[in-house]
Amino acid sequence: MGIYLFTVPSSTQHTQNLRLMRRVLFAGILLAVVKFVAWYLTGSEALFSDALESTINIAAGTFTLLSLRYAGRPRDSDHPYGHGKVEYFAVGFEGGLVLLAGVGIGANALYAWLHPVPLQKLDVGILLGTVAGITNLVLGLLLIRRGKRTRSSALVADGKHLLTDTWSSAAMIVGLLLVWLTGEQWLDYLFALLLALMVFYTGFSLVRKSIGGLMDAADDDLLKVVVQVLRQNHRAAWIDVHNLRVKRMGSFIHLDCYLTVPYFITLQEAWELKEDLRKAFAPVWGDEYEVFIHSVPCMQQYCHACAVADCPGRLAPQTEGACQHLDRLEELRMPGGLNA
């Protein structure tokens, strides 16, 4: 058995994530003020819904910032896998807040529909809403890009939430334009209800992602990366890779597997093969991962997929190309891992 341990995410990268999140949080506070001013001036329920969602952005952003600070702590005896999974709690917390916001927005829209208040200064509301929507679009794309680059679930979730806020703002602006052009005030309430449904769906998606992360649900995207690395760096003596399991803990990745090697090689040669497999992931994951590799000797059942030349113990011809079994991605999700 071979155990290879790597360091936690770099402090520079973590510091940059925190700095970005603080700036986004500050921008979120300013946007919320702008939206509430727009609602006060117009009396629009769609604008009020958008402003209410912005307060959720602030609460969620604050929790995300705190979770990022905690996730950056080094591993210790109580948390041997690090503290990265706290990011999934942040995703779940944000999703819960968004769900509540969706319910509140919908209820308020229905009440306003039954007790209408005259709208005014819609041009000002449209202008302010447009500025807020464009700002959220830029911030959301920035967070998602940074989150994917650093494998931060919390940053990606917050970025997707901001993008949803952008689409909400766009729908709100369309509604106000229709009210402005037609004079039909009920359209404002209708679009507020549509915003409530969009917000509720976003919250549900975030909660679902949080539960999946905490329960170590299969990550097909991550598995495909593993398969690609194995294909690009394949060694003939890597006869088989099986019982492979991979999971995320925030930006940190843990992988363990069994590596079948020729039965006749020395212990030193087996160690070198495991080193080759370990190093293959460094260009993809940097120093933010660990790999546990268990080496086992080959048997006759592996001959059909073995590409070792001049094997002194071959009992059957090779009938399957190297790594050909990795095309069967559905096997990655089978209980027990990858039986490649």
Please indicate, yes or no, if residue 280 is contained in any of the structural domains: yes
What pLDDT shows up at residue 4?
36
**Three-state SS at 308:** coil
Residue 294 scores a pLDDT above 80: yes
Question: What pLDDT band is residue 272 in, cutting at 50, 70 and 90?
Answer: very high
State residue 107 phi and psi, 5-degree precision: -65, -40
Domain boundary among 214, 242, 258: 214
State residue 286 phi and psi, 5-degree precision: 65, -130
**What is the domain-level CATH number for residue 260?**
3.30.70.1350
Residues 200 and 335 in one domain: no
Question: What pLDDT band is residue 219 in, cutting at 50, 70 and 90?
Answer: confident
What is the domain range of residue 154?
A: 10-214
Residues 194 and 273 in one domain: no
> Which of 285, 339, 336, 334 lies closest to 4 in space, CA to CA?
285
Residue 327 scores a pLDDT above 70: no
Residue 6 scores a pLDDT above 70: no
Residues 37 and 182 in one domain: yes
Residues 98 and 138 in one domain: yes
Mind listing the pLDDT tens digit for each residue in 17-49?
Answer: 788 888 888 888 888 888 888 888 887 776 777
CA 248-205-31 angle, 5° bins: 100
- Average pLDDT on 86-105 reads 81
Domain boundary among 182, 214, 246: 214
Mind listing the pLDDT tens digit for each residue in 124-175?
Answer: 777 888 888 888 888 889 888 888 887 777 788 778 778 877 877 777 778 7
Residues 324 and 242 in one domain: yes
Residues 304 and 197 in one domain: no
Please indicate, yes or no, if residue 2 is contained in any of the structural domains: no
Domains: count for the chain: 2
- Average pLDDT on 258-278 reads 90
Tokens 């909400």 — which residue?
168
Residues 158 and 192 in one domain: yes
Residues 194 and 146 in one domain: yes
- Average pLDDT on 231-241 reads 86
What pLDDT shows up at residue 324?
59
Residues 86 and 179 in one domain: yes
Question: What pLDDT band is residue 326 in, cutting at 50, 70 and 90?
Answer: low
Six token digits for residue 52: 């209410």
- The region that residue 27 occupies, defined by phi over 0 for left and psi between -120 and 50 for alpha, beta otherwise, is alpha
Residue 311 scores a pLDDT above 70: yes
Domain boundary among 214, 235, 262: 214
**What is the domain-level CATH number for residue 162?**
1.20.1510.10
